[in-house]
Amino acid sequence: MLKVCCHQLLLLFLWLSASSERSGNVNFNSGVPPLPPAIVITEIMVDPTPAVGLPNYEWIELKNISASPVNLENFYLGDADGLSAPFPAIVLKPDSFLVVCGVAAGNALASFGKVLALKEFPSLNNAGELLYLLGADKKLLHALRYADTWYQDAGKRVGGWSLEMIDPTNACSGMSNWKASADPRGGSPGKENSVNGNNPDTKAPRLVRAFASTPTSVTLVFDQGLDSASAASHTSYSINDGLASTTASPVFPLFDQVQLQLSAPLVAGKIYTITAKGLFDCAGNSLAGANTARLGLAAPVDTATLVLNEILFNPQPNGSDFIELYNRGKTIIDLQQVSLASRNSGGVVINISPVSGEPFLLLPGDFVVLTENANAVKANYVTPNPDAFIEMNLPPLNDDKGSILLLDQQGRILEELSYSAKWHFSFLNKTEGVSLERLSYTAPTQDATNWHSAATSVGYATPAYKNSQAGAEGAVQGTVSVSPEIVSPDGDGRDDQAIIQYQFPEPGYVANITVFNARGNVVRNLVKNGVCGTSGSFPWDGMGEKSQRLPTGVYIVLTEVFNTKGQTKQFKLPVVVARLGL
């Protein structure tokens, strides 16, 4: 359950006092000791159209998870725009539900159970927004920021299905504790959720990034809400160069951010490292060791710093388009100052979307991926930097051709690319799920020869890390090596695989790798038409074509490479397979 402390209550009082003009008739009382939360939000119908089997209205469901009846008089439902009208006197018994909706929906939902029709019921955005519930003494009981990715079902996120909480006793968790309803009507208002089950929170919180809003004010961003008592201790944070925090303020209502006031201002042009330790999430999981993040003061973004570096415009059926940006400059970029856009057939700039609604720093030499579904990208590709993702509304990226523009806050064009599917490597049988990677950060963006299909060895894309085809220059030559030269594929974790490593000074090579036994017979067609980057590797597990065990002996790994210029090269390398008892 959520933990609510006196510091948390004070923050809530200050925030709501500043917002009182919107609610108008609320008197705040911070003197009442906080109580354990009893009521949580367990179901949300944010997009009822097209209706599956329920009335075409938005609503939320509350559940009493305590052992005692609770009077909901003067409770409030809030979102980013303010508070609902106060709840009237209505008693919710233990383990029972209340459907809360707008006045127009009250009669239509009455047949599903106890219903409360409210004036000023918040409009629920389909793509996601902040929701929170306040008790009668203005204490925070439950808060969440849902997103349409929480459905975890592409077919149901288009409308008509509710979002249901899996485990009400784990109310702090985000997406991991929510999914689309499995009820054939599209939702289960007024009764136990169709996805109800045991789903405890055992995930430790992490510090994912930080930013400076002023030279003396720093905000830390965590991947989940924190226990506000531990987060409010300024001694839990340290910064290099002798800087210290004088105050720490968890940010209402999710407490997944903490604002620090510094003892001295940050110096422009300098990159700092901040460390957090001794923190807990609201389920009691402790921060795993010391978490660090880099930050500094952002400079105005210009054409010399930010570039388009990789694009995926024809994803796998279960995937998502993405655009990768790279900071090739020496200054820090705040992506809140940048927008994406495209052009229509008449050349007019359209589909302008801010990259980030809050400060998001891109440091020199760093990458960031923009996508509508980060989890879909991460499911299809290796992502060694999973925090370097921003979910946003991308401009349409057509499979054959399209345009991408980067704009500054004044609408000036920082970068523009008109891409074509014809830029893909001509030897590829299909390009679905294959990204186009930039070869050189300094060569012109619009130069078609500065883009190439991502290599086979990296899984056809490199989201949020160095491109497989980057930095190619020089004469046509290359090397292939095998390590170790003796493999023992017995599953003991030592020398179980031979790694065929390659390095070429330019992209555009295709590799065929075949393994022969000592008599010259083919025992394994390891790689067929594998697109190579400038460097990479392919593993061989010492097994035959049908995954059969090969006998002990000497084998020849033949690597043949060729490119679109008709240039070829062969590498023959011996490998010994050693098997005990064979």
Q: Which amino acid is at 340?
A: L
Is residue 454 located within the same domain as residue 310?
Answer: yes
pLDDT of residue 80: 86
Of 543, 485, 533, 539, nearest to 510 (Cα)? 533
The whole-angstrom separation of Cα 118 and Cα 101 is 6
H-helix or E-strand containing 12?
helix 6-18
Contact between 514 and 543 under an 8 Å Cβ cutoff? The reply is no
Q: 21 by DSSP, 3-state: which? A: helix
Query: So what's the pLDDT on residue 23?
Result: 37
Q: Which amino acid is at 455?
A: A
Same domain, yes or no: 248 and 375 = no
Whether 392 and 329 map to the same domain: the answer is: yes
Statement to judge: residues 168 and 73 lie in one domain = yes
Give me the number of domains the chain comprises: 4
Peptide bond just before 539 cis, omega within 30 deg:
no
**Does the residue 314 lie in any domain?**
yes
Number of C-beta neighbours around residue 152 at 10 A: 14
Tell me the sheet residues that pair with 537. Answer: 501
Is the same domain home to 260 and 285?
Answer: yes
Rounded Cα distance between 199 and 170, Å, is 7
Consecutive H or E run containing 452: strand 451-453
- Per residue of the chain (582 residues), give pLDDT as tens: 333 333 333 333 333 333 333 333 333 333 233 344 699 999 999 999 999 999 999 999 999 999 999 999 999 999 988 899 999 999 999 999 999 999 999 999 999 999 999 988 999 999 899 999 999 888 899 999 999 989 999 899 999 999 999 999 998 888 999 999 999 999 999 999 999 999 999 999 999 999 999 999 999 999 999 998 889 999 999 999 889 999 999 999 999 999 999 999 999 999 999 999 999 998 899 998 769 999 999 999 998 899 999 999 999 999 999 999 999 999 999 999 999 999 999 999 999 999 999 999 999 999 999 999 999 999 999 999 999 999 999 999 999 999 999 999 999 999 999 999 999 987 788 899 999 999 989 899 999 989 999 988 889 999 999 998 776 433 346 889 999 999 988 888 888 899 999 998 778 788 999 999 988 889 999 999 898 888 999 999 999 999 899 999 999 999 988 877 667 777 889 999 997 544
Residue 426 to residues 105, 227, 401, 433, 509: CA-CA distances in angstroms?
57, 54, 16, 15, 11
Q: Are residues 61 and 130 in the same domain?
A: yes
156: helix, coil or strand? helix
Among left, alpha and beta (phi > 0; psi -120 to 50; other), residue 128 is left
Enclosing domain of residue 451: 306-458
- Residue 39 corresponds to which tokens in the numbers above? 């009521």
CATH of the domain at 243: 2.60.40.1220
Helix (H) or strand (E) holding 322: strand 322-327
The answer to the question of residue 464 being in a domain is: no
Which of the 8 DSSP states describes residue 543? B
Q: What is the pLDDT of residue 580?
A: 58
Q: What is the DSSP secondary-structure string of 184-215? A: TTS--TTS--TT-------PPP-EEEEEEEET
Q: CA-CA distance, 207 to 226, in Å (whole number)? A: 11
Q: In the β-sheet with 272-276, what is the strand arrangement from edge to edge?
A: 237-239, 272-276, 291-295
Give the CATH number for residue 93.
Answer: 2.60.40.1260
Sort strands 568-577 and 486-487 into parallel, antiparallel or unpaired.
parallel
Those residues with Cβ within 8 angstroms of residue 548's Cβ, 6 or more apart along the chain or in another chain: none
- Cβ neighbors of 259 (< 8 A, separation 6 or more) are 217, 218, 219, 248, 249, 251
Single out the residue of 169, 38, 170 nearest to residue 94, CA to CA: 38
Report pLDDT for 427: 72
Sign of CA dihedral 263, 265, 270, 273: positive
83 and 14 both lie in a single domain: yes
Tokens read off for 565? 């210029």
Measured CA to CA in angstroms, residue 59 lies from 135, 226, 254, 480 at distances of 19, 28, 21, 62
Distance separating alpha carbons of residues 266 and 509, to the nearest angstrom: 47
H-run or E-run covering 22: helix 20-23
Q: What is the CATH number of the domain that holds 492?
A: 2.60.40.2550
Q: Are the beta carbons of 286 and 280 closer than 8 angstroms?
A: yes
Q: Quick one: 30 and 169 in the same domain?
A: yes
Domain boundary among 276, 295, 314: 295
3-state SS class at 261: strand
Query: Which pair of tokens denotes residue 356?
Result: 């980030």
> Please, is 558 exposed, middle or buried when counting C-beta atoms within 10 Å of its C-beta (0-12, 13-18, 19+)?
middle
Q: Give which of 369, 405, 402, 399 is closest to 384, Cα–Cα.
A: 369
Q: What pLDDT score was predicted for residue 295?
A: 97
Residue 229: inside a domain: yes
Co-location of 246 and 357 in the same domain: no
Report d(CA 495, CA 485) in Å as an integer: 9
Q: Are 43 and 163 in contact (CB under 8 A)?
A: yes
Query: Based on the domain organization, do 242 and 330 belong to the same domain?
Result: no
d(CA 393, CA 395): 7
Report the alpha-carbon distance of residue 540 to residue 567 in Å, rounded. 26
582: in domain: no
Residue 149 backbone phi and psi in degrees, to 5: -70, -15
Whether 134 maps to a domain, the answer reads yes
- Label residue 508 left, alpha or beta by phi (over 0 means left) and psi (-120 to 50 means alpha): left
Helices (H), 27-134: 106-109
> In terms of Cα–Cα distance, which of 498, 507, 470 is closest to 556?
498
Domain boundary pick from 427, 458, 489: 458
Pair (426, 327) in one structural domain:
yes
Residue 250 lies in a domain: yes
In this prediction, residue 566 carries a pLDDT of 64
Q: Residue 194 domain-assigned?
A: no
Question: CB of 456 within 8 A of CB of 437?
Answer: no
Same-domain pairing of 347 and 232: no
CA distance 121 to 101: 6
| Residue 278 half-sphere exposure toward CB, CA atoms < 13 A | 10
